[in-house]
Each structure stands twice: as structure tokens, then as C-alpha cells.
């Protein structure tokens, strides 16, 4: 009976704008929030007790649930570090990078972006201005795409400044390069499978979709969320050029289980959900263009992850997978 009720609840949730909860990296407020469709905060870090113990975040640029649902990995972009936060205990573990040091030597990063933990425990990150994608285990680089400090498009040997490194099934990675607006599919063995120039000025965080499609954000103003194919043809685009509906430097677009698309609208201090059938915003957290710290407010959100909810709106952290 409980299983039946859970299945019914799951089916009903697919008909709402946000069929679960969003984990938001509220970068400007140095915090993470788990927010449901009713704008309730179900979990957050750090809390007052964490801060009193000196446990905190600094410029948390992205936030992704780690395999198994016990912790969250976050890259602190301006601190040039990557950390892991235990969801239950709020313990903060340093994973890589020297705090406050922008560099390319051992245990150094230059503006890390999109840190993920893979199912085998490997940490991967787009080391943006070192022009490389790193694979790290036990604080050591075990694999690298691109050549440190050589910034040009010739993957996998060379990469331009990298903005995204989305994991792919089979150990591959979907890389976005800022210069030239390239999207590169690189296999688990390190070979380039294909590359395409996206029709945007600043490609951000490409996400694989069924049928060889790619969902990405255009980190510009006015910005956009769009779906392209491997030849760069636009299959769908959301890009109002003015008014409340326009996006200002969106950094990540993610498709939800019901087909809606969640977007970090960074400089508008909000996260929105767009119905691609109507091209309208159907849900929002934050107030457009108004940064704040109180309930319902964000300050330059720059990362998100989708977390399904069970009965009683219990977060199903272990059910989060990438991609």
C-alpha cells in the first residue's frame, strides 16, 4: 500500500511546475538551499550552529549531490577550492585546491567550475582558466584533458577556457569552451567523439538529453536557455530580450522529470522553471533583480541540482544521478 501511495504521489508530482525540489547554490549568500515547489526550505547549509563553529562556504559556484546521496560537492570558485558537505552532519571536507590561491601547481586551481563526484569516487572539475578538465582521487590528479595553461581549441590535447564538464554515461564528459563557443564530447578513454560550435556567445554547462540533444545556457544579457543537436541546429530556445521574463547571465539549464526546464538566472537573483511548450516561466524562487538573504530571496544563484521528494516531502538524496 505504501508503495502504491508513493507511485501515485510521484505521478501527480509530474503535473506541477516543479516535481520535486531544487538544491540551489546561492553564491552571493555563501549558502546552499533545498527548496520545494511551495517555496519551503527543506534543508540548508550553513546554519547558525555551523557558522558558530566556523564551518562555512565561500562563493559556492555549483552544488551537486554526490553518488549515494550522503554528501554534496561544491566548487568555491573565488576561493579556488572544492569541498564536500555531509548532508546529515554538515561536516565540511576539503577535497582539492589551496584556499585563496589562484594557481596551476600541485593542489592549485584557477577558478574551478562544475565539480562532480563520479560513481567510482573520482572528483572531476573544469579548471576554467588553467584550460583543463581534471580527474582527482585522494588529492592527486589521475587524469587530465587539455594542457595546463595552453588555451586553444584542439581537444582533447588542448582546450580553451572551460566552463563545464558534465559527466556522460560510460565515463565520458561533455565539455564547454568559452572561446569559440565549443561543445566537445570526449569519451572515457580520452578521445574526441564530436565537437560543435553552439550558436551562443558564452556556452555554459551543457547537459546531455535523449536523442543526441544538448541543453545549455547562454551566459549573457539577455541570456538564453536552448536545446541544440550535434550539428548546432537550434531545436528550442527561450530568449526574451526585455522585461520580467528576460534572463540575465543564466549559468545552468537543467531538464526536470516532467520536461520543464530549471534555470539559474544569476544576475536576476532568481531560479526559474520554464515550460518549453509555452515558453513561459511557471515557477520562480527569488525576486527578479532584488538580492536578499531572507526567505524567498537569493543573491546571484549560480548552481542547482534536482532532488526528488518522497512521501511527506522527504528528500530522496540517494535517487539523484548525473546525468
The percent of residues in the chain predicted with pLDDT above 90, rounded, is 94
CATH dotted code for 21-319? 2.120.10.30
What integer is the mean pLDDT of 6-29? 76
pLDDT surpasses 80 at 11: no
Q: What is the pTM of this model?
A: 0.94
User: What is the arithmetic mean of pLDDT over 19-41?
Assistant: 98
Rounded average pLDDT over 43-59: 96
Report DSSP letters for 183-212, one per residue: EEEE-TTS-EEEEEE-SSSSEEEEEEEGGG
Residue 4 has pLDDT above 50, yes or no: no
Q: Is the pLDDT of residue 2 over 90?
A: no
**Nearest C-alpha neighbor of 163 from the set 199, 207, 226:** 207
For 217-231, the pLDDT digits (tens) are 999 999 999 999 999
Residue 7: band (very low, low, confident or very high) from pLDDT cuts 50, 70, 90: very low
DSSP 103: -
* pLDDT tens, position by position, 88-134: 999 999 999 999 999 999 999 999 999 999 999 999 999 999 999 99
> Is 3 a residue whose pLDDT tops 70?
no
Grid coordinates representing 230 are 550535434
Please state, in angstroms and as integers, the Cα–Cα distance from residue 98 to each residue in 39, 105, 109, 272, following that order. 36, 10, 8, 34
Write down the pLDDT at residue 162. 98
Residue 15's pLDDT band (boundaries 50, 70, 90)? low
Binning pLDDT at 50, 70 and 90, where does residue 13 land? very low
Cell of 19: 516535481
Domains of the chain, by residue range, sit at 21-319
What gap in Å lies between CA 21 and CA 27, rounded to an integer? 18
Amino acid at each position: 500500500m505504501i508503495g502504491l501511495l508513493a507511485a501515485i504521489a510521484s505521478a501527480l508530482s509530474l503535473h506541477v511546475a516543479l516535481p520535486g525540489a531544487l538544491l540551489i547554490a546561492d553564491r552571493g549568500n555563501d549558502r546552499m538551499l533545498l527548496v520545494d515547489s511551495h517555496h519551503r526550505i527543506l534543508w540548508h547549509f550553513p546554519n547558525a550552529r555551523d557558522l558558530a563553529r566556523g564551518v562555512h562556504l565561500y562563493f559556492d559556484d555549483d552544488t551537486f549531490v554526490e553518488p549515494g546521496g550522503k554528501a554534496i560537492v561544491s566548487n568555491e570558485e573565488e576561493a579556488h577550492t572544492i569541498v564536500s558537505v555531509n548532508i546529515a552532519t554538515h561536516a565540511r571536507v576539503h577535497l582539492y585546491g589551496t584556499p585563496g590561491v589562484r594557481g596551476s601547481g600541485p593542489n592549485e586551481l584557477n577558478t574551478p567550475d562544475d565539480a562532480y563526484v563520479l560513481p567510482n569516487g573520482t572528483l572531476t572539475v573544469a579548471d576554467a582558466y588553467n584550460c583543463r578538465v581534471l580527474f582527482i582521487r585522494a588529492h592527486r590528479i589521475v587524469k587530465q584533458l587539455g594542457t595546463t595553461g595552453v588555451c586553444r581549441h584542439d581537444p582533447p590535447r588542448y582546450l580553451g577556457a572551460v566552463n563545464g564538464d558534465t559527466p556522460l554515461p560510460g565515463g565520458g564528459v561533455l565539455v564547454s569552451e568559452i572561446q569559440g563557443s565549443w561543445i566537445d564530447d570526449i569519451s572515457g578513454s580520452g578521445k574526441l567523439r564530436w565537437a560543435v560550435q553552439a550558436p551562443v556567445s558564452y556556452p555554459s554547462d551543457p547537459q546531455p538529453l535523449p536523442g543526441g540533444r544538448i541543453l545549455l545556457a547562454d551566459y549573457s544579457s539577455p541570456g538564453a536557455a536552448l536545446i541544440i543537436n550535434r550539428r548546432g541546429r537550434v531545436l528550442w530556445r527561450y530568449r526574451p530580450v526585455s522585461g520580467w521574463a528576460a534572463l540575465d547571465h543564466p549559468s545552468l539549464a537543467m531538464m526536470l522529470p516532467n520536461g520543464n526546464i530549471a534555470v539559474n538566472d544569476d544576475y536576476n537573483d532568481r531560479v526559474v522553471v520554464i515550460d518549453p511548450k509555452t515558453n513561459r516561466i511557471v515557477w520562480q524562487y527569488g525576486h527578479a533583480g532584488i538580492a536578499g538573504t531572507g526567505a524567498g530571496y537569493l543573491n546571484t544563484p549560480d548552481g542547482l541540482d534536482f532532488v526528488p521528494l518522497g512521501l511527506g516531502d522527504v528528500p530522496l538524496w540517494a535517487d539523484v544521478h548525473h546525468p
